[in-house]
Amino acid sequence: MSLSILAARWVLPVTSDSIDHGAIVIDGSHIRETGRVDQLRAAYPDASFRDLGEVALLPGLINVHTHLELSGLRGRVEEPRFQPWIVQLITLKAELFTPADLLDSARLGCVEAIRSGITTVADTADAIGTLEALLESGLRGIVYQECFGPAADQAEAAIATWREKFEAHRERLAKVPVEAASRLRVGISPHAPYSVSDRLYRLATSLALENDLDMALHAAESIAEQLLLHDGSGDFGDSLRRRAIEFTPPRSSTVAYLHQLGVLEAAPLLIHGVTIGESDLPLLTRTGTRLAHCPKSNAKFGHGVADLYEWQSRGLTVGLGTDSVVSNNSLDLLDEARFCTLLHRAHRADSTWPEAAEILRLMTIDGARTLRLDDQVGSLEPGKRADLIAIDLSGPHTRPVYDPVTAIIFSASARDVVMTMVDGRILYDGKNILTIDEDRLHRHI
């Protein structure tokens, strides 16, 4: 296997100190070594060499929650109230999108992710096109295939539908080279407490535990959800009653409800968690439940501010997610990181937390831990996959650079990403996406 050296003004391994005038030795799809450029050139005289200049090289960003298939609906549903927003979104998706449209929509999401320096995507998907789009794109990812059904008697049918989609994914992955298949996993996602019956939660959890499937779920996202679980009131309670769907409120928090149903035994990825309270935290810690923090989506809906500080203080595993572009409206994880930093500083009236370096970890190594991929990605370390990105810090909006980490968190944006690499393969070279035909895509979306 041929070796190559990529050099940069700054190399940020994330799990060790930043390296000025650093370089990375890449051996095919893996990282061989990081260090100072002069030392590595001397140690590997036969390796090909490329100096990327005034950029920071860092691990590819990890988006722990999105819905790529919704990318084509950006800006289409600006209804500010949460429950009516969901209804409009479901209706529009069904009316406007054929399966081919959903595939293109997911492709658009992949293109935006790659251009934003995201190399791993945890996606919750309803249609089956997202896996295909991810395969084409070269991204690493997990597709959490969704199941829905608020009425208890829909549970078996919902699981049967889920199984069909899961089998289709398995067959598809069996037909691609092992290397490509190894970048993708399929999991299960019972959608949310207002769209999933207790019976469906139980069936989905058994399926996850018996088949060692990763599970993700939207939970503790809104006050409306809290009201439904407390006494059946609020927008979601009204909506279920209008459809004559029986729901017995557990009169507890979402986390206590999920625990009581046995769902937390699967140590799921819990998406949002805005209304998680003090009494929920021991349950999350004990079960190893992981969290996807999506501050911009939560803010746009006025859901509130998730207690990232407390989660991290308790040692919970947390990553950063954008959610879909229908509620964000962007997959720019650098923008999400800056918003996250400023939001929590303002909310807690404390300028000392979070530090920029903590938020860089949140969208790299912590994201990898959240998705149980930290043995492969999330930092620049020997033996890990060569998933890395270059961020140009030479622009007038980022220079001068006294500290590349604060420059990235407080000044840079997705537009400054000039290279995205997954498994040693360049997916974006600063001008073009090399895997998906953007011109064709933009004629459709």
Q: Note the maximum CA span of the chain.
A: 73
Q: Tell the smallest beta-carbon distance from residue 48 to Zn ion (Å).
A: 41
Q: DSSP secondary structure string, 256-268? A: HHHHHTTGGGG--
Q: Tell the smallest beta-carbon distance from residue 377 to Zn ion (Å).
A: 22
Q: Do 130 and 97 touch, CB atoms closer than 8 A?
A: no
* Residue owning tokens 């934003």: 116
Q: Tell the smallest beta-carbon distance from residue 327 to Zn ion (Å).
A: 7
Closest CB to Zn ion among residues 289, 376: 289
Distance CA 361, CA 11 (A): 14
Closest CB to Zn ion among residues 126, 323: 323
Closest CB to Zn ion among residues 27, 323: 323
Distance CA 344, CA 346 (A): 5
Sign of CA pseudo-dihedral 359, 360, 363, 364: negative
Nearest CA to 162 out of 93, 99, 215 is that of: 215
Q: Tell the smallest beta-carbon distance from residue 314 to Zn ion (Å).
A: 23
Closest CB to Zn ion among residues 323, 423: 323
Burial class of 430 by CB neighbour count within 10 A (0 to 12, 13 to 18, 19+): middle
Nearest CA to 121 out of 163, 170, 72, 184 is that of: 184
Closest CB to Zn ion among residues 323, 332: 323
Closest CB to Zn ion among residues 323, 335: 323
Q: Tell the smallest beta-carbon distance from residue 162 to Zn ion (Å).
A: 17
Closest CB to Zn ion among residues 270, 433: 270
β-bridge pairing 140-147 and 269-272: unpaired
Nearest CA to 89 out of 109, 73, 105 is that of: 73
Residue nearest to Zn ion (CB): 323
Q: Tell the smallest beta-carbon distance from residue 292 to Zn ion (Å).
A: 8
Closest CB to Zn ion among residues 323, 374: 323
Distance CA 291, CA 434 (A): 32
Closest CB to Zn ion among residues 307, 323: 323
| C-alpha count within 13 angstroms, C-beta hemisphere, residue 217 | 26
Distance CA 313, CA 353 (A): 12
Q: Tell the smallest beta-carbon distance from residue 76 to Zn ion (Å).
A: 16
Q: DSSP secondary structure string, 266-305? A: G--EEEE-TT--GGGHHHHHHHT-EEEE-HHHHHHTT---
Q: Tell the smallest beta-carbon distance from residue 63 to Zn ion (Å).
A: 11
Q: Tell the smallest beta-carbon distance from residue 205 to Zn ion (Å).
A: 19
Q: State both tokens at 369.
A: 């831990």
Overall size of the chain counted in residues: 445
Q: Contact positions toward Zn ion, by CB under 5 A?
A: 323
Q: Tell the smallest beta-carbon distance from residue 68 to Zn ion (Å).
A: 11
CA-angle at 354, arms to 348 and 357, nearest 5°: 175
